[in-house]
Chain A
Amino acid sequence: MQVRHIFERISARLYVVVYEPETNQTAGNIEDEDEDEEGKDELELAFSRWRNPGWLWKFYSKFRRDLQEEDPTISVKNAVSRTLEEADHFHAALVRIATRGTEDELMKLFKPLHDREEGQKAYELQHIKVKQPRCWLRLYALRYRGGFIITGSAIKITRKMNHRPHLKKELDKLRMVQKFLGEEESEKAFVYLEI
């Protein structure tokens, strides 16, 4: 697993990571089957997956049990349709913040990962009330010197990240970028974005 670049993108305070191809390739993961993902940064990957009915169908089929536990009445088709809509809302919100939002809005948009997440206890964390608890889309970022570096994304159905490999991998990616950046930063923290 290796960071290839960190792109400056959205604003002076928002960056996104591009990894070496093998970082996003883990045997048995949904990501393996998409041939067009190489070279994409993590934002491109997030929105191309969240807007791809075929990818989402495979994902929700794989995690059908999690889906049923979250909402026994929801079908894979409904979950896919809803995610397609939510991805558009998510993207629109991010574009608005990126193009017209203030620094303060950006700081408020990202929420600290909750201290229930294993391994995150060292950071200053706070409980954030989720506005739309049924939205499962997440962008993960590292807070770094007053800005944010987006390190990955996930569809998070289960409560804790270590419960599923694809979520655990996002934690690993956060740690990897932290390590990539080198020296210990007092204000460095793991955060996530949801709409």
Chain B
Amino acid sequence: MENDKLKKITSTERPSGWMELPAYKKENRPWVDRSVKISLRVLEILDEKGMSQVDLAKLMGVTRQYVSRILNGTENFTLETVAKLEDALGVSLIEIIEQNTSVRVGKLKESTPEEKRQGYWMTIVLAPSPAQQVYVPLKLKEFKYRDLHDPAAYGVPYENFQQSENLLHEEYKGYGTAFDASTPTRLTADEKNIFKLTSGTRTFALALSRWDKMTGEINEAITKQVFNG
């Protein structure tokens, strides 16, 4: 700009750092993205619980300034910090899916005529690996109240199902048995809208938060956790 006045009042004290901010992010993208996700989850929980940053700092035994850094999304968390956060908030922020046991949730589809004859109306297609798919037929909207009196048949106590009556949306109700030729598999649901898929000695927990009846796509369905034993 050919402007002598502006040149005179323009400082040369230090360069602006505005360009470096996202460059920093790009360079550190793998962990910064995760840090932001943790920050958002922590902020969401604080909001839900009506807790302040000061409350969280006290529970964690750290300063409010440190909590502020955590929530700024630029903290390269140590496992110690994550553990403190999880303990203070009473939630799990990082869940480990063991190698070779993760389940990708595929489509919810209408069962085959043969499966329907057996009482299974819908089928979740799970893919533990690209080479292997597990089909989990579900009895949806077919709950018989009397069926719930037999916990042995469904793997969860009757009380849990009773609670789930109000919490689970109609479409989410159900149970099923996977037609996996090599491994006996069973699907159950608990009061927190978590479906547990027991296959052999492993149990996968699935959260089916929403699914689209038109396309059969399960939105926001995630594999929550894997238990061994």
Contact = CB atoms under 8 A, between A and B. Distances in A.
Interface of A: 4-9, 12-13, 15-16, 18, 33-35, 40-41, 43-44, 46-48, 51-55, 57, 61, 76-77, 80-81, 84, 88, 91-92, 95, 98, 144-147, 149, 181-182
Contact of B17 (A6, A15, A35, A44): A44
A51 B19 contact: no
Most chain A CB within 10 A, of B16, B25, B65, is at B16
A80 B72 CA distance: 12
Interface string B30-58: 00000010011001100100000000000
Name the interface size band of chain B: 20 to 34
Contact of A13 (B1, B10, B43, B44): B1
Given A5-B10, A54-B68, A48 B36 contact: no
Given A53-B43, A53-B71, 8 more contacts: A8-B10, A12-B1, A15-B6, A53-B72, A57-B47, A81-B40, A144-B6, A147-B3
A51 B18 contact: no
A194 B209 CA distance: 36
Contacts of A81: 40
23 contacts: A6-B10, A7-B10, A9-B16, A15-B10, A18-B11, A41-B16, A41-B18, A44-B16, A44-B18, A47-B21, A48-B21, A51-B25, A54-B72, A54-B73, A57-B47, A61-B47, A77-B44, A80-B43, A84-B36, A84-B73, A88-B25, A144-B3, A149-B6
A7 B15 CA distance: 8
A92 to B, nearest CB: 7
B9 interface: yes
Contacts of B15: 9
Nearest to A16: B16
B22 interface: yes
A5 B13 CA distance: 9
Contacts of A15: 1, 6, 10
Nearest to A181: B5
Given A51-B73, A144-B3, A6 B9 contact: yes
Interface string B117-128: 000000000000
B40 A77 contact: yes
Contacts of B9: 5-6
Nearest to B46: A57
Contacts of B65: 35
